[in-house]
Structure 1
Amino acid sequence: MKSIKKSIICKNIKNYHINESIIKTYQPMPGDVAIFEVLELCSLSAIQDKGGRNCHIFEGDRIMATFGNRYASNQFEGYVPVGYHEEYELIGKGGLVGIVKSMCSKLELRGATKLRLVGYATDEEGKVINTIYHHVQPTEFDPGKIRRHKTILSVGSSMDSGKTTSAAYLCRGLKAAGKKVAFIKLTGTVFNKDRMLAYDCGADIAVDFAEFGFPSTYLCSLKSLMDLYEALLGCVVKVDPDYVVIEIADGILQRETEMLIDHEAFKSTVDHVLFSSGDSLSALHGVAALRSKGMEPFALSGMINTRPLLVEEVNCKLELPLLNLEHLASPDIVHSFERKAVNHAIKSSMGMERHVLDVA
């Protein structure tokens, strides 16, 4: 048998058998582990291996990966297949396999790398191995738990709006200010680049959903996301952080992102919000959308900073700081949201006083 190249999402899969007899009868689920043969290299010619290294793949190679769903407006929209297919597609470099429904136009000429299902990875009892909570127990979200840290949510207008880079540089600024910082990527598709950027920027610890075996979070239930959130918080509390910076993927209209920012229990854990956008219109409407949900950003950031004309447009319309990476990485960043919090508390207090006077 050829050597099998193991993708990062399968790093905790140690002992397994390859069952070729069920490939046409078994219905895969997100997280199910299988062995695939590379048939045709297209847009993805490498996987991230179990050590996080960029591992080149070639036609004829065998890889260990998982089935899963993907939402990526600048990459692939793909799903766990229904029934058996002659060909499957590699839709995520971290080891995500499915069937592509749509893709960004920049990928259409090459398409997705084609795979053949060799067999499922099964355990001693013959059950197909699933990476989700494979090596750890799930944790239930506790809405009443006392949190010692402050939480900063990094959310954006869309994929590639700059929210990951903004969050990472924010970690750097907080660290420069002498704070203990943790980074969590709560939603997205398995690929450790984002959390490693935050770690390299100075986060004391950086984790994501793949820590618990999720190849992606697309189409997860709200309960599953909240339980995952609790589990990830449990990972980072060991460094006793002053701040936890949390990124949720894609844009505020994306399914899981919208579910979270509409959910009162999730919002109650968030102290500050940093919003990233790629252009002036998305900045204006994104801030308005967040405000309608009771979430007031302390600042704007993101790819919009690369276009001075759009920055000028936003500055004329919004009384909200627009921070570039240098601002975010400065130790003075702490004052930006601490001052915002104080001002908000003063306004809330004044509002309560006016209400009392009106009633009286």
Structure 2
Amino acid sequence: MTIALEHPVLHSTAIALPARFQASYTTRLVAVGVDKRPSDFWLETAGTPQAGDVVIARVTAINNHKRVETPESRKAILFEGVLVMLAYGHRYAADQFLAHVPEDLGPCHLVAAGGIAGTVTALHDRVDEPTEIEPLGLLTNARGTVNVRDFAAFDNPLKVEAPNKRAQVIAVLGTSMNSGKSTTLACLVNGLAAAGQKVAAGKITGTGAGNDRMIYHDAGAHSVIDFTDFGYPTTFKLNFAEIRALSVNMINVLADSGADTVIVEIADGIYQGETSRLLRDQVFQEAVDHVVFSAVDALGAKAGVQELQAAGLHVAAASGVMTASPLATAEAAAVLEVPVVPTFDLTNPEIVTAVLTDHA
């Protein structure tokens, strides 16, 4: 969504919204509000950004991220000088960046293609330097600085209890980023939908991006949401009460869609801070019936499954990137007491149904 607007200059630290800028995936709900009532918004050039605050910034040097994801999940090509609407956020991505919300509106970085602004403090050796941006100002209306939480589709009340069991709930976790979690979840969706179930899918934690929810939708999920629908551009560094509540509230929303099965993805690896604590939380454990674990290799699969079982979770199967290798699959099958199922075999309704019933 590219928004073209015209506004007068308002006062000393306020400037009009630029005539044209590109909204991003994480700011898509805000962009709808701006498009409906553009005269209600302006930019403030002074202030201290907080996680979720919306900023319009100019791209000044294109490096690692050469595209930004639009509200429709199209990857828009970036050019130097283009203006983009982003959300400030922290990022934890072992294969890319560690980034944090800066303390001022000075130059910083585009730290995720989904539309996250932050300051990179560490990066993987194989990743290019981050794309550089220059904030013009914080999006503002009569109520103050606009945060993506102001336009959330769903609330996240912190007082939660484990949901009543209206639907089977499966959590997909993994050894790390890029262990095959999203593909595993999509294959579970596809197989269960082929078995005649209504399947709802969601991503509880991570960094805002539309590609995961699109693959869930393409696989056959009848309802798909993620944490950005609750007003979070990322979940890194959220306090644990919010993480717990987000998990249960997302499961409830998906179950209320009429689903027979709800499948949720937890980002990164099981040693990531928020994930490690969440999988040991009693409320989360009571909300989840099964875990399907994605791993890169047999050693990771064995360690991860043991960690989850020790935490008190029921692991129904191991899958993921390792199952692309027959040798790694055989190694894992030899040392695990749970089934090792090649990812795309989960699209077979008989196989996926057996995995989730015979090993309950």
Q: TM-score, normalised by structure 2?
A: 0.89
Letter in 2 for 1:338: T
Q: Is the 8 A contact 2:105 2:135 kept in 1?
A: no
Letter in 1 for 2:61: E
Q: Is the 8 A contact 2:255 2:262 kept in 1?
A: no
Question: Quick one: structure 1 residues 145 and 290, their matched pair in 2 at CA, closer, same or farther if it must change by over 3 Å?
Answer: closer
Q: What secondary structure is seen at the aligned counterpart in 2 of 1:12?
A: helix
Question: Quick one: structure 1 residues 308 and 29, their matched pair in 2 at CA, closer, same or farther if it must change by over 3 Å?
Answer: same
Show the counterpart of 1:287.
305
Show the counterpart of 1:347.
none
**Identity of paired residues, percent?**
31
Work out whether 1:170 is the aligned partner of 2:188.
yes
Show the counterpart of 2:94.
73
Q: CA deviation at 1:340?
A: 1.0
Letter in 2 for 1:5: Q
Question: Quick one: structure 1 residues 183 and 7, their matched pair in 2 at CA, closer, same or farther if it must change by over 3 Å?
Answer: same
Q: Is the 8 A contact 1:141 1:229 kept in 2?
A: no
Please show how residues 56-71 of structure 1 align to structure 2 within 5 Å.
56-71=77-92
Show the counterpart of 1:334.
353
Show the counterpart of 1:12.
29
Show the counterpart of 1:211.
229
* Corresponding residue pairs, total: 334
Show the counterpart of 1:91.
111
Show the counterpart of 2:151.
134
Q: CA deviation at 1:20?
A: 4.1
Letter in 2 for 1:92: A
For structure 1, which runs of at least 5 residues remain unmatched after alignment?
A: 342-360
Show the counterpart of 1:161.
179
Q: Is the 8 A contact 1:161 1:302 kept in 2?
A: yes
CA distance in structure 2 between the partners assigned to 1:233 and 1:153 by the alignment: 10
Q: Is the 8 A contact 1:155 1:275 kept in 2?
A: yes
Q: CA deviation at 1:193?
A: 0.6
Q: What secondary structure is seen at the aligned counterpart in 2 of 1:321?
A: coil
Aligned-CA RMSD value: 1.6
Q: Is the 8 A contact 2:195 2:349 kept in 1?
A: yes
Question: Quick one: structure 1 residues 212 and 316, their matched pair in 2 at CA, closer, same or farther if it must change by over 3 Å?
Answer: same
Q: What secondary structure is seen at the aligned counterpart in 2 of 1:249?
A: coil
Question: Quick one: structure 1 residues 105 and 54, their matched pair in 2 at CA, closer, same or farther if it must change by over 3 Å?
Answer: same
Deviations 1:179-231 (A, max 9, x none): 11010100000001111101101111111001122110001112111222243
CA distance in structure 1 between the partners assigned to 2:43 and 2:344 by the alignment: 53
Deviations 1:41-84 (A, max 9, x none): 11111111122221112101111101100011112111001234
Question: Quick one: structure 1 residues 150 and 141, their matched pair in 2 at CA, closer, same or farther if it must change by over 3 Å?
Answer: farther
For structure 2, which runs of at least 5 residues remain unmatched after alignment?
A: 1-17
Residue range with higher mean Cα deviation, 182-191 or 44-53: 44-53
2:140 pairs, out of 122, 131, 151, with: 122
Deviations 1:287-314 (A, max 9, x none): 1111110113111100101222222222
Q: What secondary structure is seen at the aligned counterpart in 2 of 1:251?
A: coil
1:187 pairs, out of 205, 208, 218, with: 205
CA distance in structure 1 between the partners assigned to 2:20 and 2:96 by the alignment: 29
Please identify runs of 4+ aligned residues in structure 1 that moved more than 4 A: none
Residue range with higher mean Cα deviation, 75-84 or 327-336: 75-84
CA distance in structure 1 between the partners assigned to 2:226 and 2:183 by the alignment: 15
CA distance in structure 1 between the partners assigned to 2:200 and 2:162 by the alignment: 21
CA distance in structure 2 between the partners assigned to 1:247 and 1:99 by the alignment: 26
CA distance in structure 1 between the partners assigned to 2:256 and 2:333 by the alignment: 40
Letter in 1 for 2:211: K
Q: CA deviation at 1:147?
A: 2.7
Q: Is the 8 A contact 1:2 1:61 kept in 2?
A: no
CA distance in structure 1 between the partners assigned to 2:178 and 2:148 by the alignment: 27
Letter in 2 for 1:173: G
The structure having more radius of gyration, on CA atoms, is: 1
Letter in 1 for 2:147: N
Q: CA deviation at 1:315?
A: 2.1
